[in-house]
Structure 1
Amino acid sequence: MSNFEEAPHKKRKVEASLESLLPDDVAISCLARVSRLEYAALSLASKSYRSLVSSPELYKTRSLMGRTETYVYVCLRTPPDSNPRWFILRRRKILPIPSCPSQPPEASSVVVLDWGIYVIGGLIKGKPTSKVLLLDCRTHTWRQVPSMRVTRASAAAGVVDGKIYVLGGCKFDEKNWGEVFDPKTQTWDTLPPMPDTKKRDQYIHDSVVRDQKVYAVDGTDRTLYYSPCLGQWGRGNRGEVIGNRRDWCMIDNLIFFLTRHGTVIWCEPDELDWRETEGMVSKEVKGLGFLKKSLSCSRLVHFGEQIVNLWEKYKIKFGRPQKLIDLLPGARLSNSGGNIVLFWDVIEGDHLEIWCAEISLDRRQGGEVWGNIEWSNAVMTVDPFLDRSKALSSI
C-alpha cells in the first residue's frame, strides 16, 4: 500500500525534473509547432512556460518555420452588459478571451503593433481619457502602458516604422493635435504643430496608413495626413465627395469601405491625395449584391456618444429628421491576411444574431474587383433580444 501511495508523488517529481532539464531551444522548437491560441493555457502551467511563451525567440522561431498565424479580434458591447468584451475569431466562431474591466466603454482607437493590440483613449463617463491599454496576444493578458500627453476620444491612429501615431480626438490645438508613442523607450512625444490653424473637428471616424503616412478623416469628411519621414502635415482629397463611407482599410494596395446601403466599395490609393478638380472615384466590389439587404439593415457599428450628440445638435439646427444610425453604415469591415472580414447583425424573431463572413478578392482585367465569399455564418446569438449589440472595434 505504501508503494501505491508514493507512486503519484514520484511521478510529479519526474515530470517537474523533465521540464526543468529540457533546454530552452528545444522547448521553443516544440512550442513553435503548437497553435498560438493554446499559449494562454500553457502560460498558466508554470513560470518557465510563461517565460517561454512571451519570449521574442519563440516568435522568431515560428516565423522561420512558417508557423505564423493571422487571427481577427473583435470587441463587442452586448446588452445588458455595458462593458466591452473581446473575442477571437477561430474556426468560424468567436470565442471569448479575457477582457479588461478598466477599458473605456466607447470611442477608443485601436492599432496592432508586433504581438499586441493597443487600445488608445476613449470616453469614460462621457469624458475623454489619455489612458492606453495593451492586450498581449501571446498570452491574452492586459497591462497599462504610459498614458498620452493629451486626453483623446475617437482619434486617428496608425503604425509607421514601429511607432504609433495618434491624430486628433481632442479640441483643436495646433500644438498638441498629434503625438507619437515609441514602444522601445515607452515614451510619448508631441508631433510638430499643424501649419493650418483652421479649426479642425475633434471627432475622427476613420484612419488608414498609406505610403508611410497616417491619413485621418474627420467628422465633416475632410481628410488630412501626417508624414513621419518628412515631419510634415498635408491635406488629403476633397472631403465633400467622400460621403458616408466607413471602416477604411488597405488590402493589396487598394482602399476598401462600407456604405450605408450595404455596398462594399473600393478606390485607388492615390485618390487619397489632394486634387483640385477631381474627387475620389469609388467602384463597387462585384459579386456581393445578395449581401446588400442584410448589411444595409445592420446596426452593429458603434458611433460613439460624441458624434451622436453632434448630430442631434446639427439636425435640430438644419431641420434634418433622420437618425444618425440610418445615415451611416451599420456593419463592420476589416482586413485579415488580404481578405475582407465583415461583421453585421440580423434580428431573428425574439433574438439577435451576429454574423461574420470572409471574402477573398480578385482584381480582373478591365479593372474590376470581384469578391468571393469563402464562408459566412452566425458567430453569436443574443437571446433574448434586449437591444442592439455594438462592435467597438474589429482588427
Structure 2
Amino acid sequence: MTTTLPTSFSSLPEDIILSCLARVSKFYRPTLSLVSKYFRSLVASPDLEATRSRNGITEDYLCVCLNVGSKPRWFTLAPFPQQQKLKPIPPYYKHPKSSTVVSIGSEIYIIGGSLHQKKGNRVLVLDCRSHLWRRLPNMRLARETPAADVIDGKIYVNGGSTSYKIENWGEVYDLKTQTWEPLLFTTLDLTTHKSVVPGKLVMGGKVYSMNDDLKISLEKNVCLVEIENMMCQISISKGMLVWYNPEENLGWSRVEGLEGVPRDPYFPGYLTSVASYDRGRRVTVWWKLIVSRCWPDWMESKTEIWCAEISFERRDLGKLWGFVEWSKNVFIFDGGVSSDFFLH
C-alpha cells in the first residue's frame, strides 16, 4: 500500500499560482506576504499585476486625500467591513494645495494648485493600483482650484488663473497626443453643465459659481447625488447633513434618519465633510474625535478620523432619509488635525 502525499500550493506551476493570487484582493497582500519568502516575492512581482490586467480583474475602493500636518496625503480605503482602515500611499514630495482632482479608471489626476503660496501649472498622476506617481506635461497657465472634468477621453480645465484674457479661460488635454490646447468659452458647450444646477456650473461632480466675467469659484463641501433619477445637492451645514433638490426648489432641508452618525453641531465630533462616490449614488461623510488621556504631569491627545457610507431614499415631498451602510474609525493621528482635514 502506497501513501500519496498532498500536493502543496507552492509546488504548482507559477502561472497557476499567479492566476489564483490575482483573484485575491490587494488589501490581503500584506497577510499573504507573511506566508513565505516565495509568496512575498510573488506579491511584489509585476507579473501579478500583469496577470490581473490580462484576466480583467478589477476591484473598487476609495482613494481619499486628507490634510495631515498641513500636507496633503493620499490613502486607500478597503471595501471590506473588516478591512475598513485608511492605508497610506507613498507621498509625492511636492504635492500642491488647492488643486482639482479628476479620475480616469484607476488613475487620479491632480491639476494645478499652489505650492509655497504660488500658483502652479503642474499636473500629477497617481496610479491607485501601483501607488506610483508621474507627471503630465505642464498646463499652459498656472491655475488654482480650477473646474475640471473628463469628457470623451479628454481633460477639460476651466478658470483658476489670474488672466482676464478670454483665450486663457480654459485648456484641454488630449490623452492620446499628450498635449494641451487652448479652450475658449465658446468652444465648450456649457449648456449641459449649467442645466444640472440652475445658475451654477457643474464639472467633475462639483458645483461652481460663475460670474459675468467667467470667473469661477468652488462651492466647498457640496456634492451631487443621483436620487431616484434626480440630481440633488448634498452638503454639510452647521455639522448636519442637508440636501436640496433644484427641481422642487423647497430650499435646503435636513436629511432624516442617519442613525449612528453625528446629527447636530453639539455632538462631539460633528460632521465636517461630505463627498460623493459610486458614480454619484452614495456619499461618505467624515468627522473627527479628539481622544485625550491625562496623567498627573502630562496629557496625551490623539485624533480619530471617522467615516460613514450613506445611501438615500425619498419619502414624501420634501423629505430625504439617509441610511448608514457602515460607520467606522478609519485612522488615528497623534496630536490634532484641522476641521477641514478632508480634501478630496
TM-score (norm 1): 0.63
Question: SS at the partner of 1:157?
Answer: strand
Q: Does 1:163 align with 2:154?
A: yes
Cα RMSD, aligned residues only: 4.0
Question: SS at the partner of 1:258?
Answer: strand
Q: How far apart in 2 are the matches of 1:30 and 1:344?
A: 38
Deviation at 1:191, TM superposition (A): 1.2
**Which residue of the other structure, out of 39, 61, 76, is the alignment partner of 1:71?**
61
Q: In the alignment, which residue of structure 2 is the partner of 1:264? A: 241
Q: Does 1:88 align with 2:111?
A: no
Q: Does 1:213 align with 2:193?
A: yes
Q: Does 1:335 align with 2:283?
A: no
Deviation at 1:235, TM superposition (A): 7.1
Deviations 1:290-338 (A, max 9, x none): 6233598769xxxxxxxxxxxxxxxxxxxxxxxxxxxxx9424332463
TM-score (norm 2): 0.71
Structure 2, unpaired ranges of 5+? 1-9, 31-39, 204-208, 212-217, 293-300
Question: SS at the partner of 2:185?
Answer: coil
- 245 and 127 in structure 1: CA distance in 2 versus 1, 3 angstrom threshold: closer
Q: How far apart in 2 are the matches of 1:187 and 1:262?
A: 43
- 92 and 134 in structure 1: CA distance in 2 versus 1, 3 angstrom threshold: same
**Which residue of the other structure, out of 159, 173, 176, is the alignment partner of 1:181?**
173
- Asked if the contact 1:78–1:390 (Cα under 8 Å) also holds between the matched residues in 2, the reply is no
**Which residue of the other structure, out of 342, 346, 351, is the alignment partner of 2:289?**
346
Q: In the alignment, which residue of structure 1 is the partner of 2:223? A: 248
**Which residue of the other structure, out of 100, 105, 113, is the alignment partner of 2:104?**
113
Q: How far apart in 2 are the matches of 1:146 and 1:280?
A: 45
- Asked if the contact 1:256–1:264 (Cα under 8 Å) also holds between the matched residues in 2, the reply is no
Q: In the alignment, which residue of structure 1 is the partner of 2:251? A: 281
Question: SS at the partner of 2:305?
Answer: strand
Quick one: higher RCO (CA 8 Å, sep 6+), 1 or 2? 1
Match of 2:264, as an amino acid? K
Question: SS at the partner of 2:262?
Answer: helix
Deviation at 1:135, TM superposition (A): 0.9
Question: SS at the partner of 1:393?
Answer: coil
Structure 1, unpaired ranges of 5+? 1-13, 63-67, 196-209, 227-233, 237-242, 272-278, 300-328
- 340 and 97 in structure 1: CA distance in 2 versus 1, 3 angstrom threshold: same
- Asked if the contact 2:243–2:255 (Cα under 8 Å) also holds between the matched residues in 1, the reply is yes
- Asked if the contact 2:126–2:133 (Cα under 8 Å) also holds between the matched residues in 1, the reply is yes
Deviation at 1:27, TM superposition (A): 8.0
Instruction: Report which of the two has the higher share of helix.
Output: 1
Q: How far apart in 2 are the matches of 1:127 and 1:110?
A: 18
Q: How far apart in 2 are the matches of 1:346 and 1:50?
A: 38
Match of 1:174, as an amino acid? I
Q: How many residues align?
A: 297
- 268 and 260 in structure 1: CA distance in 2 versus 1, 3 angstrom threshold: closer
Deviation at 1:390, TM superposition (A): 4.7
Deviations 1:70-116 (A, max 9, x none): 2121112322xx43221111232111122211221x10111111121
Match of 2:175, as an amino acid? P
Q: How far apart in 2 are the matches of 1:270 and 1:366?
A: 12
Deviation at 1:122, TM superposition (A): 0.9
Match of 1:292, as an amino acid? R
Query: Which residues in structure 2 correspond to 1:298-309 (within 5 Å)?
Result: none
Question: SS at the partner of 1:49?
Answer: helix
Q: How far apart in 1 are the matches of 2:169 and 2:196?
A: 12
Match of 2:174, as an amino acid? D
Q: How far apart in 1 are the matches of 2:321 and 2:258?
A: 8
- 161 and 194 in structure 1: CA distance in 2 versus 1, 3 angstrom threshold: closer
Q: How far apart in 2 are the matches of 1:295 and 1:358?
A: 21
Deviation at 1:39, TM superposition (A): 7.7
Match of 2:45, as an amino acid? S
Q: How far apart in 2 are the matches of 1:127 and 1:296?
A: 38
Percent identical among aligned pairs is 35
Deviation at 1:163, TM superposition (A): 2.1
Q: In the alignment, which residue of structure 2 is the partner of 1:314? A: none
Q: In the alignment, which residue of structure 2 is the partner of 1:393? A: 343
Question: SS at the partner of 1:101?
Answer: coil
Instruction: Report which of the two has the higher share of strand.
Output: 2
